[in-house]
Structures are given as structure tokens and as C-alpha cells.
Structure 1
Amino acid sequence: MKNSFVSPARDRRVPRIRSIAALTALTLSGGLLAAVNLSAPAAAKPGDVVVSENFDSGTLPAGWRAIDGEWKVENGRLRGTASSGTKKITFGRHLTDFRFEATVRFESVAEPTRWTSLGLDVPADGSTPWWIATMRSGTTAANGLEFAQLTTGNAWNVTNTAAAGYPAGTGRDVKVAVEVHGNQARWFFDGRQLLRTTSLTRSTDGGQALIVNGSTVSFDDVRVVELAPNGYLRPDGAPVTVIAHRGASSAAPENTLVAQEVARRAGADWIENDVQPSRDGVPFVLHDGTVDRTTDGAGAIRSLTAAQLKALDAGSWFAPHYTGVRLPTLAEQLADLRTRGGNLLLEIKGAHSRDEVAKIVEVIRAEQMTGRVFIQSFEVDALKHTYALAPELPLGLLRGSLDADPVAIAKELHLTAYNPTGAALIAKPEVVDGLHKAGVAVMAWTIDSAAQWRQLEQIGVDGIITNRPAELAGWNAAFAQGSPAEPTVSIASPLDGAQLDRAQQPVLGVVAANADTVTVTLDGKPAQSGQKLDLTRLAAGRHTVRAEATGPTGTVSTTATFTITVDDAGLGYLILTSGADATAIKQMTDHLVKGKYDHLARYAERNAGQRIPARVAGVIAADARTLAQR
């Protein structure tokens, strides 16, 4: 997850208000500049200053091309005027990884919706298509900042928007910057990252531009600096990268496309998922070595064919409304990310042969996703195979504890990131600075506590892998605005008003944002988000889930009720899973089939604690009496 043009050796252990450097390329996308020079320039290198203009010469710099509108230099600033429409001036050269910054001042505007932009990948002649990072004078509007493309049909494709905490207004200088790594970009407003994108499409020759619309804008200190390709180091002013563990696994069935979609909508920068092969060699997205826990099937994934895996229900275990969700293949997951947006932190789960890793690489390349996939693994051999087969893919080493020399192993394995547990990093925070000085990003797993997010952010961690991506994205948003946001909390599962039978096992899903602590209760007793509810242990009728979230600004709470229904099928399931001995199960089943509910109730009560576990016997008897009264 990565870096700005300043030296990687800078001190990253600074207070959160300054934001420690690191992860640019993770969730951004961008191609920024348009080639303007008449002859091909020498290739830029990281740290090279490609453009640096303060306009003290009093004239337009050489190679700057005023396409339309009125552009002139006066009083040491470049002034651009567009009395109507959009006007632009182009310059610079094509770069893949760079930072584009300027001091910008709206001198006058026709109305607060008018704007100025830094051009990111604009042809020298100003022809379409081109990408821009836009700022309105009314920056507090929901679209005060934007990433957008003007298409060849002269239509706007606005991919990302955000609001600043205060307006740019007129007559005041605003320092703006965009950091671009390939198709990813970060938008900084007065030193604080407020927006990022992964949607830029890059040309082969587009350079930079300055653009004005319905306004007069002056510019000073325009700089374009080549960056190192590791866009996973977090720049100054940027929040930590949000990495959704197995998708939005606290709110949807893990490692599925629906969990991926929930995480994407929640604001996750990356999706973290696991890959393993089927018996016939098809890479599937699954965490466990078996399908038992997260599907309605059984058996090791490597013993089941792709056809058998695709037939499994991978959603109903989490909640009834996810019934029918399927296990995705790696190809399906990548296609979804490519078409709907997002990046993948892909864990090669367990030992893989070189041929098995080669198949994973083949799928990534076939889906044209090499620029948006990051490989990680606990398995050193899997990383070595990946590097040998696809050196273009960034690599991360997962660790349960810290190595004696993380920098040395990072160099040995050609790592882009070193990814240990959050607890290990908090215990030894100086490791982060050492890795950053070596140009290696740090991603911590798996952290769901806001208090630990704060600790990790303050020691300079670049990305955080979490089961609560919506909450971490909200926590980041509060940081971006410079003040704490109100906590929020909702109950995703079971849904309020849900009717459930005994055979269902919904997962308790609670989503909170801007919260330091989240407390969950079921019928007044402590419970946990992610906990599977055993409905055979609960009485028939209504039950209440309550969730309470506490943040810096206060406490909020919400409730949801669900009802356990009683029917023959549910009672049959209760009997068969009761743990009673074979004689008792046969006797109770006979009573149920014959509709002798009173006999069944009395039998369960007489044999409670003997042939039938006492706890279950009481539930069986109560359900049987309910049916007898119908």
C-alpha cells in the first residue's frame, strides 16, 4: 500500500494531524500529464523535478501551450480566464508515477459551482479524452472535489467526488496536489487527502494541464515530480489504506462477490481475499481448506471439482437473505473488480506448487488485472514462484510475528510490503520506520478496533486489513475533515423483522463507523458481531439485538428484532441435531410424524438430562406444545 516525492528516509512517526507518509498507489488511479515537448525528453527518474515554475520570468514558460482562453503571467503568477466554457494550457511530459502540485487562487467566479483543474493525462493539443482533478470555488459542496474524464464524445464521466471542510472561495491561496500511480490517484487539499480513485485510464503520451471554467484563476509554484513506482507507501496528509478482509466479512458472507460489493460501496480501497485450487485446477476464492464452514457442502476444496464448488450455497450460512450466493472463481472476482472498480490484495492460501501459482498468474493476466492485483502469502515458496513467473506483481509477506530483520527478508524476497499482525507492530513500532526507509510498505492485519487503528496510523502503517471496512473508511473520513465525526451503528444481520426457522444459522452482523467501542447484546446478554446464532438454543418467538457504538463525540444505539418460528420441519431439525441417543431420536421422530405433539412434549420432559440433553429437551417440549395448540 505507498509514497510521495519527498525522501523515503523522512521521519514518519509524527502525530496523526500531520499524517505519516505512505500508501499512494493503493486506491488511486491516475495518469496525469500531457506530453508537450517537441522532442522526446530523457526518461524521468524517481525524485526528478519534471516541472517547476514560479512565473517570476514574467512570461509563459517554454513548452507551455495555451490551447484556448486567456493565459498570461502577471505579478509573478499565471492567470487563466474562461469567461465561458472550459479553457486550458498544457505542458509537461507523460509519466506513470508522479506528484502534481500548485498554489491556486480563484480571483473571480461566475458562481460557486465554477471550477479549476489539474490535468492528469491531457494530450498536448488538448484533444479528448483527458482526465482531470477538479476543485470548485464552493469546495464544501458534495462535488467540491472531483476526479473526472472528458470523453471523446465531449461527455463528462465523473468517477469520484468529495467535499472539503471549508470553501476555497475567492482571493485566498489553496495548496492542491495530486499523486498518481498508474490508474490510481490521490487528491490533496491544503495538505490533506480528501479523495482517491482507482478509475483513471492512461494514455501513452498525455501530459499535464491547467484548466479553468467560468472563472479567473491564478497559479503559482507549479511542480511535477517523478515518484517511485511503489504507490503503496502512504504520503503525508493521507489516511491509512482501507483493506477489506475477505470483503465486508462482518456484514456479508466472506470471500463472495456480494461481500466484495458491500466493501466497495463502504469505501474500501482494496479487497483482501484468499485463493486455492479446485481438484481440477481452477483457482477459487475461499479461506478455509474445506467448504464446511462457509457453504452447505462438505469436504476439502482440493477434493472437489469446479462444477461441484459452483453448485454450493455460500451465503445462507451467514444469513437467510444471502441464500444462493455462490463461491466465485478468481476469474469471476477479477472480472467484477475490473468492470465495477477496485483492487485485490490476493492471499495465496497454503502451500502451492509452481504450476498452481502459474495458473493464478495466468488468470490475472487473462483478466488484464496485473496493475490492480497485489499478491501476499505466508508461504515463502508461493512468493518466490510468483516473482519468478510475474515479477511485475507486487508481493507482500504475511507474518504472525516479526522477523529478526524484516528489511533483510524484504530484500531477499523482493517485497513491496511486509504484512505482520497489528499487535506485533504496536509492540515494536520502530520496525515501520526501518521498512519505510528501505522503500517497503507495511500493512497490518486484522484490526477491528478504532483504538488500535489510531495506534497503527500514528506509527506510520500504510494499510490496515479489517473486517470492518465501512467503519475504518468512516474513521478516515473524520480524519480528512480534521474533526471527529459522529459515531453510527446499524445491524446488517439478522434483518429487522426477519422470520427464521430452527435450521437457519444467521451470523450476527453489526456495522459501525467513527466508533472506538461497539457493544452488542442479544436479549440483553453479551454477543459479538460475526457470531453465528444457534437458533436451537433460543426460545420460539421474538428476540432483540441491540448495538451501541461509542466514539469521540458520543454514543448511539440501534435495535433489530427477529422471530423464531415453529413448524414441523424446524422441530424435526431440532430433534435430529439434539444430541439425544438413537432410541430417543427415533421415539421423538415417530411422535412428530404422527402429529402426536403432546406425547412428544411429555417424552422430552421425562427424558431431559438422561436420553436427551436437558437444554435441548426443554426447547423441544416447548415447540411441540406450540404445535399442539394450533
Structure 2
Amino acid sequence: MTRARPDHPYFDVPFAALAHRGFSRDGLENSMTAFQSAVDLGFSYVETDGHGTADGVAVALHDSSLDRTTDAAGEVSELPWSHVKEARIGGVEPVPLLEDVLGTWPELRVNIDVKAESGIVPIAEAIERTGAHDRVCVASFSAARRQATVGRLSRPVATSAGTSEAARFFVGGLLGLGTLRALEDVHGLQIPWRVGVVPVLTERHVRLAHDAGRVVHVWTVNNRAEMESLLDAGVDGIVSDRADLLREVLEARGLW
């Protein structure tokens, strides 16, 4: 199956292998060490989530609070950067500035999920200051958050559908209806391939997305058999915590 290649530099590779929150087997997700580990493994794409502190600083962190992954506590949006920067992921690694993730590896492509309204302005400003437009994909469960972020940028970035857009695409695909309108504002879909134990992504969906010139990236896939099945279905990218395993699978297929 021919894979889609939207007209943006972010997509100028045959297949997008995304290291989910970097690569760490030690619980240090979304740390600079995890991102460096992904780069050392040969990854040119990483995925991260973005939040804004109370004083407007963009950080690379999945959760809205510091509680789960760090030795500190509190909602990031209610704390100043001076407090957040003292937190340690796994008791070891500092919470990184998004600007540092974008600036440390000038060739690295970064998928950024805008997780909350507080992140809109700080994330846009971090992209602007680093000039990372050609190697950033802005995503969000909320289409409104994505649009607000992208609307603050001076140059286009890659974009991915929000939950409501993806839902319209999926329903349209299942019912045999037109699907392009659901994706007209984005370059593609970044979606789970199943809900619970029920697979929802079909080869028909992939084909319809490709017919519309959109890519399909799937998260979060950590099993070899599932990776193989999705590659057989023609997806354009896989997001994985097991970056090492994903590389093995792609190397075997000549897609690395």
C-alpha cells in the first residue's frame, strides 16, 4: 500500500517512527535523558506533551500535575517555572523546557500534544523562538487548542486531527460517507488503533486517509505483532514506548 506524503517537511521520510516521550526503560519519560536515548538509538522523531506554567513557560511533560512522574506535587498551570524546575522526574531528572527539547537537537522532529489551554501561548512562543516550524507537528485532543496554537505561529507547522475530527472521520469511513471534510484542516491523524481490546482502525480507514492525502500515525504500540499488523495495514507512522523494538521491526522491513 502506498503511504501518504503531505506537503510539509515534517513528513519527508518514508515512515515516521516516533519515540513516545523519548525512550526510557527506567521511568524517566519526557526527560532530556529519554530524548537523548531516542536520538542515540537513531530516532529522528519523538513525541512529547506540552504544558504552560503559571508564568507562561512551556514544559515537556505528559501530566497536568507533577505528582505522578516527579518528586514534587501540584498543577503545572498553577506553579511558576521557578518551582517546576526544581522537580525531578523519577527523583533524578529535571522537567525539561520545551524550548530545550526543540533547541538541543536541531534536526529532531518533535510531535507536540498541546494538553491544556495554559500551554497554547507558551508552546507557540517556544516554536517561534527556536524556529522549529519545519520539524514540529502540533497535535491536541482539542481541535480548538491546536488551532489556537497554530494561529499564533508565523509559519506553517504539521498538524494532526483532534478527537472530534478523528471521530467524524472514523464514522464516515464505517458508513461509507465522505471523509475528507473531517480532515480538511490537518495533515493527518494520530490515533489509537483500538479502544480497550476492540480494534477500531481498519485498512479501509487507512486507504481513505491516503486518498485524501493524509497520514495515519498510530499510538501507543509496544507489541511486535501489533506493529507488524499495522504496517501491513499501511499506516504511515507508529508511536511506541519500545523504541528499541520498533526499530528492529522497521529494519527488518527496510523502513528504518
TM over 0.5: yes
- Inter-partner Cα distance in structure 2 for 1:22 and 1:251: 35
Corresponding residue number in structure 2 for 1:337: 105
Matches within 5 A, 1:52-91: none
SS in 1 for 2:137: strand
Query: What letter corresponds to residue 326 of structure 1 in structure 2?
Result: P
2:246 maps to 1:246: no
Q: Identify, as 1 or 2, the structure richer in helix.
A: 2
Q: CA offsets, 1:440-495, max 9 Å, x none?
A: 111111111111111111111100011111110111111229xxxxxxxxxxxxxx
Query: What letter corresponds to residue 150 of structure 2 in structure 1?
Result: Y
Q: Identify, as 1 or 2, the structure richer in strand.
A: 1
Please tell me the root mean square deviation across aligned C-alpha atoms, in Å. Answer: 2.3
2:7 maps to 1:232: no
**Could you tell me how far 1:398 is from its partner in structure 2?**
4.5
What are structure 1's unaligned runs of at least 5 residues? 1-11, 13-19, 26-227, 317-322, 482-630
Corresponding residue number in structure 2 for 1:472: 246
**Could you tell me how far 1:369 is from its partner in structure 2?**
1.1
User: Contact (CA 8 Å) 1:397, 1:419: kept in 2 or not?
Assistant: yes
- Inter-partner Cα distance in structure 1 for 2:161 and 2:10: 17
Corresponding residue number in structure 2 for 1:457: 231
User: Contact (CA 8 Å) 1:247, 1:254: kept in 2 or not?
Assistant: yes
- Inter-partner Cα distance in structure 1 for 2:67 and 2:86: 14
User: Contact (CA 8 Å) 1:252, 1:262: kept in 2 or not?
Assistant: no
SS in 1 for 2:145: helix
> Structure 1 residues 251, 402: closer, same or farther in 2, change over 3 A?
farther
TM-score (normalised: structure 2): 0.86
> Structure 1 residues 398, 420: closer, same or farther in 2, change over 3 A?
farther
**Could you tell me how far 1:305 is from its partner in structure 2?**
0.9
**Could you tell me how far 1:252 is from its partner in structure 2?**
5.0
> Structure 1 residues 257, 345: closer, same or farther in 2, change over 3 A?
same
From 185, 188, 196, the counterpart of 1:417? 188
> Structure 1 residues 229, 384: closer, same or farther in 2, change over 3 A?
closer
Query: What letter corresponds to residue 364 of structure 1 in structure 2?
Result: I
Q: CA offsets, 1:220-271, max 9 Å, x none?
A: xxxxxxxx4466387xxx4x42101111144550111100011111222311
Corresponding residue number in structure 2 for 1:349: 115
SS in 2 for 1:271: strand
Matches within 5 A, 1:190-339: 228-229=7-8, 232=11, 238=14, 240-316=15-91, 323=92, 325-338=93-106
User: Contact (CA 8 Å) 1:252, 1:259: kept in 2 or not?
Assistant: no
- Inter-partner Cα distance in structure 2 for 1:333 and 1:233: 21
- Inter-partner Cα distance in structure 1 for 2:253 and 2:66: 40
User: Contact (CA 8 Å) 1:230, 1:416: kept in 2 or not?
Assistant: no
User: Contact (CA 8 Å) 1:247, 1:256: kept in 2 or not?
Assistant: yes
2:124 maps to 1:361: yes
- Inter-partner Cα distance in structure 2 for 1:307 and 1:268: 31
What are structure 2's unaligned runs of at least 5 residues? 173-178
User: Contact (CA 8 Å) 2:58, 2:97: kept in 1 or not?
Assistant: yes
2:157 maps to 1:393: yes
SS in 1 for 2:71: coil
- Inter-partner Cα distance in structure 2 for 1:434 and 1:345: 23
User: Contact (CA 8 Å) 1:396, 1:419: kept in 2 or not?
Assistant: yes
Matches within 5 A, 1:501-540: none
Query: What letter corresponds to residue 104 of structure 2 in structure 1?
Result: D
> Structure 1 residues 369, 267: closer, same or farther in 2, change over 3 A?
same
> Structure 1 residues 231, 289: closer, same or farther in 2, change over 3 A?
closer
User: Contact (CA 8 Å) 1:284, 1:329: kept in 2 or not?
Assistant: yes
User: Contact (CA 8 Å) 1:276, 1:284: kept in 2 or not?
Assistant: yes
**Could you tell me how far 1:385 is from its partner in structure 2?**
1.1
> Structure 1 residues 342, 427: closer, same or farther in 2, change over 3 A?
closer
Corresponding residue number in structure 1 for 2:203: 429
Matches within 5 A, 1:2-21: 12=1, 20-21=2-3
- Inter-partner Cα distance in structure 1 for 2:124 and 2:59: 13
> Structure 1 residues 271, 435: closer, same or farther in 2, change over 3 A?
same
> Structure 1 residues 434, 446: closer, same or farther in 2, change over 3 A?
same
User: Contact (CA 8 Å) 2:9, 2:135: kept in 1 or not?
Assistant: no
- Inter-partner Cα distance in structure 2 for 1:231 and 1:261: 20
- Inter-partner Cα distance in structure 2 for 1:306 and 1:334: 18
SS in 2 for 1:419: strand
TM-score (normalised: structure 1): 0.36
Pair member with larger Rg? 1
From 425, 430, 438, the counterpart of 2:212? 438
- Inter-partner Cα distance in structure 2 for 1:314 and 1:282: 18
User: Contact (CA 8 Å) 2:52, 2:59: kept in 1 or not?
Assistant: yes
**Could you tell me how far 1:420 is from its partner in structure 2?**
1.5
